[in-house]
Amino acid sequence: MTGLWNDFNSAQSNSNVIPKGTLAKVRLTIRPGGFDDPSQGWTGGYAKRGATGAVYLDAEYTVVEGPFAKRKIWSLIGLYSPKGPDWANAGRGLIKGILNSARGLDDKDNSPQAQAKRRIGGFAELDGIEFIARMDIGSDTNGEDKNEVRSAVTPSHRDYAQLMGQGSAAQMQGYGQPPVMSAPQQGYAAPAQGYTAPTPQPQTPQSPAAPGFSGRPSWAE
């Protein structure tokens, strides 16, 4: 028995917040706000303008699989703030991370192909997109803890492929490390019947390894 049923002071508090730092595959849904500004590329009625003049995307993230499947997180993606560029810059950074995660791009990949995949024709391309989110914790209007999404996980993370469903746990073992090479099988033939293996001969001692060789390949450093 973990406690008396007439005294609940020692009862565990139930929290509906996903732990900070948890990685989860989510689907982004943009709740339309009806505000457009074609000069900024904000069309389709996706953006929302608040009473202070701030413009943002009202984002709903649904966890699609894992222990928190079907849980929903609501947070804002900043597009403009009359207080300065910081909120909009954070919003642009988050959208870049979402595109990198959803489209399998390394953040440092600046090839023409990668740059093309980081461009969108409109916010409609973000509505329904799936990516790997890192859970954060903020505060709601009452000061209570609430989950937020402030960053996305890209292919450089060791758990990215498994979380995106690109490999099973067995396939992901050793992900991010060099593959273990096995003996080649091509052209192997079984010894003929009656074959007797030759008697091993004494081996001549090998010369020591070259100076500076640690016994580990360079990629393992």
Give 112-143 pLDDT, tens digit per residue: 999 999 999 999 999 999 999 999 999 988 88
**Residue 221 confidence class, pLDDT cut points 50, 70, 90:** very low
70/25 Cα distance (integer angstroms):
11
Residue 14 has pLDDT above 80, yes or no: no
Contacts of 89 (CB under 8 A, 6+ apart): none
148/72 Cα distance (integer angstroms):
10
**Residue 208 confidence class, pLDDT cut points 50, 70, 90:** very low
**% of the chain with per-residue pLDDT over 70:** 72
**Residue 217 confidence class, pLDDT cut points 50, 70, 90:** very low
Q: Are strands 35-37 and 145-153 parallel, antiparallel or unpaired?
A: unpaired
Q: What is the pLDDT of residue 184?
A: 43
How many C-beta atoms surround the C-beta of residue 175 within 10 A?
Answer: 15
**Residue 199 confidence class, pLDDT cut points 50, 70, 90:** low
> Which helix (H) or strand (E) element contains residue 42?
strand 42-49
138/128 Cα distance (integer angstroms):
24
Partner residues linked to 110 by β-bridges: none
Residue 80 has pLDDT above 60, yes or no: yes
- pTM for the full model? 0.70
DSSP at 202:
P
**Residue 58 confidence class, pLDDT cut points 50, 70, 90:** very high
DSSP codes joined into one string, 86-109: HHHHHHHHHHHHHHHHHTT--TT-
Q: Where are the domains of the chain?
A: 23-168
Residue 210 has pLDDT above 50, yes or no: no
> Which helix (H) or strand (E) element contains residue 117?
helix 112-117
Residue 175 has pLDDT above 60, yes or no: no
Residue 168: alpha-carbon gap to chain centroid = 16
Mean per-residue pLDDT of the chain: 80
Backbone angles phi, psi at 174, to 5 degrees: 80, 15
